[in-house]
Structure 1
Amino acid sequence: MSERPQVTPFRPTAVALDIDGTLIDHDEGLSPAVVDAVRRTAAQVPVFLATGRAWSTTMPVAERFGLPTGGIVVVSNGARTMRYPDGEVLDERTFDPRTVIASVREHAPNARMAVEEYDGTYLVTAPFPEGDLGKNAKIRVVSDDELAPEPVTRLIIRDPEQSEADFVRLAERLGLHGVGYFVGWTAWLDIAPEGVDKSTGLKVALAQYDLDASGLLAIGDGRNDIEMLTFAGHGVAMGSAPDEVKSVADEVTKSVTDDGVAAVLNRYF
Structure 2
Amino acid sequence: MTDAPAWRPRLVALDIDGTLLAWVEGAGQTYEKVTPAVYAAVHRAVEAGAHVVLSSGRSPHGMDKIADLLDLPEAVADRVWVVASNGAVIFRYPPLEVVHEETFDARKAVAAVLEHHPNALVAVEERGIGYRVNRHFPDGELSGEMILTDVGEIVAGPVSRVIIRDPEASADDFVALAARLGLHGTDYVVGWTAWLDLSPVGVSKASGLQVVCDQLGVDAADVLAIGDGRNDIEMLRWAGRGVAMGQAVDEVKAAADDVTASVHDDGAALELDRWFG
**Per the shorter chain, which TM-score range?**
over 0.9
User: In structure 1, the residue corresponding to 2:225 is in which secondary structure?
Assistant: strand
Shift of 1:212: 0.8
Within 5 Å, give how 1:218-237 maps onto structure 2: 218-237=225-244
Q: Which runs of 4+ in 1 moved over 6 A?
A: none
Paired residues, what number?
A: 260
Aligned to 1:5: none
* Cα displacement string for residues 62-81 of structure 1 (whole angstroms, at most 9, x for unaligned residues): 00001135120000000011
Aligned to 1:211: 218
User: In structure 1, the residue corresponding to 2:104 is in which secondary structure?
Assistant: coil
Segment drifting more, 15-24 vs 163-172:
163-172
* Gapped regions of structure 1 (runs ≥ 5): 1-7
Aligned to 1:4: none
Q: Percent identical across equivalent pairs?
A: 52
1:58 maps to 2:70: no
Between the aligned partners of 2:260 and 2:129, the Cα distance in structure 1 is 33
Preserved contact between residue 245 and residue 263 of structure 2 (Cα < 8 Å): yes
Structure-2 change in CA distance of 1:174 and 1:111 (3 Å): farther
Alignment RMSD: 1.2
Segment drifting more, 167-176 vs 20-29:
167-176
Preserved contact between residue 34 and residue 70 of structure 2 (Cα < 8 Å): no
- TM-score using structure 1 length: 0.93
Q: Specify which of 49, 71, 76 is matched with residue 54 of structure 2.
A: 49
* Cα displacement string for residues 182-227 of structure 1 (whole angstroms, at most 9, x for unaligned residues): 0001110000000100011101111221111111000000111011
Within 5 Å, give how 1:49-198 maps onto structure 2: 49-67=54-72, 68=76, 69-134=78-143, 137-198=144-205
User: In structure 2, the residue corresponding to 1:116 is in which secondary structure?
Assistant: strand
Aligned to 2:19: 22
Between the aligned partners of 1:9 and 1:159, the Cα distance in structure 2 is 47
Preserved contact between residue 34 and residue 69 of structure 2 (Cα < 8 Å): no
Between the aligned partners of 2:251 and 2:113, the Cα distance in structure 1 is 26
> What is the one-letter code of the residue matched to 1:47?
V
Between the aligned partners of 1:125 and 1:173, the Cα distance in structure 2 is 25
* Cα displacement string for residues 73-102 of structure 1 (whole angstroms, at most 9, x for unaligned residues): 000000011111222222110001111222
* Cα displacement string for residues 7-55 of structure 1 (whole angstroms, at most 9, x for unaligned residues): x732111100000000001231421100111122123211000000000
Preserved contact between residue 107 and residue 173 of structure 1 (Cα < 8 Å): no
Between the aligned partners of 2:251 and 2:182, the Cα distance in structure 1 is 22
> What is the one-letter code of the residue matched to 1:202?
L
* Cα displacement string for residues 234-265 of structure 1 (whole angstroms, at most 9, x for unaligned residues): 00000001101111111100000000011011
> What is the one-letter code of the residue matched to 1:155?
V
Shift of 1:120: 3.9
Aligned to 1:12: 9
* Gapped regions of structure 2 (runs ≥ 5): 24-29
Aligned to 1:37: 41
> What is the one-letter code of the residue matched to 2:15?
D
Preserved contact between residue 61 and residue 127 of structure 2 (Cα < 8 Å): no
Preserved contact between residue 79 and residue 192 of structure 1 (Cα < 8 Å): yes
Between the aligned partners of 2:63 and 2:128, the Cα distance in structure 1 is 13
Segment drifting more, 23-32 vs 248-257:
23-32
User: In structure 2, the residue corresponding to 1:91 is in which secondary structure?
Assistant: strand
Segment drifting more, 17-26 vs 35-44:
35-44
